[in-house]
Amino acid sequence: MSIAAISGLIVGVVLIVLLLAGVPISISIGISSILAILPIMDFNAAVLTGAQRLFSGISVFTLIAIPFFILAGNIMNKGGIATRLINFALLLTGRVPGALAHTNAVANMMFGAISGSGVASASAMGSIIGPIEEEEGYDVEYSATANIATAPTGLLIPPSNVLITYSLVSGGTSVAALFMGGYIPGILWGLACMVVAFFIARKKGYRSNRRVKAKDAVKIVMDAIPSLLLIVIVIGGIIAGIFTATEGSVVAVVYSLILSFCYRTIKIKDLYKIFKDSAETTGIIVFLIGVSSIMAWILAFTGIPAAISNALLGISNNKIVILLIINVILLVVGTFMDITPAILIFTPIFLPVVTSDLIGMTAIQFGIMLVFNLCIGTITPPVGNILFVGVRVAKTSIERVIKPLLPYYGVIILVLLLVTFVPAISMFLPRLMGF
């Protein structure tokens, strides 16, 4: 057995064993990667090489956008934005059956896009809309599933930290192009869930009697516009080339701070906790990216991505079959692995396959397909963080929401197949903008 094969075997076996033992993913990746270097060089050189790869992996200008977008999301989450967006969403959904569930879906799409966090969306929207739905007679499971199913849309609708991570790992795919590519799939996800919520609400007889007066409607719109302008300013500035994604993240922080102070929802004394929480989240993500760069080097050395690529292409010469296999693998991976490490590990493995002449997929479309797959894992057991947050906020249990979630899973996977096999869904806007 060659040295490369031994290193590949070590990294695979050790990683799986550590994950099954409950070791945190970042530590598991780091340990397995360092051990995999040992057959190549002695221990001291292995540690030194690992440290060099770690620091080179995080010494990328684009990565600076991640902590700033995290900070902007935390400021928005604490800055009274959610209530204003909910009122605006309720105005849009009107009095259709299940209006409050539709409000939840629309608000999740808007707030998720602003905060960049599906967990923050599920928590904020569930805690505010849930009690209102209960007052109107909605059962807890219906409310919780509508919230859980639509919360991940903000991970696709930009700005999105996971798309920035994919841009880095994929070799510099345009962040602006990925941002534009995420709009239609993210909106289709939300709309598909709204269709399910509509039919369930009509069957259960959930109808809203709320009426909004014209003068109140004007106030609601005016209150929501400043928050919605954040998306226009940041994404518009990036697409127009006024500033980079990194600079746009700083603009998002400044704008969200000014907005929150104007709303008087954040005080100076609140900033310490916001900065602390943002720093902790950033530290986890950046360390994960760093240790994953060690693994990426090992994978390249051992030739594992090329071997998997050849194996998949050897199974069939039918692109539909290969793409279905990749989707199934990613769906399974998403059920037990968080989005960021999954992107870091599987992008270099599958990207060469899908961009081959046989498949002909662009790096942009694959990035959206990859993130879409992994977003589904955030709302499925056993480790779906959005699922757990949504259940906790609704004060129910996973056992009670899994069955009502099944129709949502069905339509979401249907949209995934459209994203996979209809390139225009993720490529129309990027091409329209000249990417």
Burial class (CB in 10 A: 0-12, 13-18, 19+), 273: exposed
- The pLDDT score that the predictor gives to residue 76 is 76
Residue 218: other Cβ atoms inside 10 A: 11
Beta carbons of 57 and 49 less than 8 angstroms apart:
no
CB 263 within 8 A of CB 222: no
58-67, 257-266, 277-286: range with lowest mean pLDDT = 58-67
pLDDT value at position 17? 87
Under 8 Å CB-to-CB from 117, ≥6 apart: which residues? 73, 77, 154, 155
Of 108, 68, 63, residue with least CA distance to 286: 63
Query: Is residue 336 over pLDDT 80?
Result: no
Listed in order, strand segments (DSSP E) in 231-365 are none
Percent of the chain whose predicted confidence (pLDDT) is above 70: 94
The residue whose two tokens read 């947050």 is: 389
- Give the model's confidence band at 210: pLDDT under 50 very low, under 70 low, under 90 confident, else very high: low
Q: Tell me the per-residue pLDDT of 102-121, one tens digit each, with 9 for 90 and over.
A: 888 888 888 766 666 777 77
Per-residue pLDDT for 84 more than 80? no
Give yes or no for residue 160 having a pLDDT over 70: yes
Is 224 a residue whose pLDDT tops 70? yes
What pLDDT digit, counting tens, does each position of 340-380 carry?
A: 888 888 898 899 889 988 888 999 999 999 999 999 988 98
Q: What is the pTM of this model?
A: 0.82
The percent of residues in the chain predicted with pLDDT above 90, rounded, is 21
Give the H/E segment covering residue 305.
helix 304-315
Question: Does the structure show a pLDDT above 90 at 410?
Answer: yes
Residue-level pLDDT at 4 = 67
Q: Is the pLDDT of residue 209 over 70?
A: no
Show the DSSP H helices in 23-174 as ranges: 25-37, 43-58, 65-78, 81-93, 99-115, 118-135, 140-150, 153-156, 161-169
In this structure, the number of other CB atoms found within 10 A of the CB of residue 234 comes to: 27
Q: Please, which residues have CB within 8 angstroms of residue 284's CB and are 6 or more apart in sequence?
A: 26
Which contiguous run of DSSP H or E holds residue 198? helix 175-204
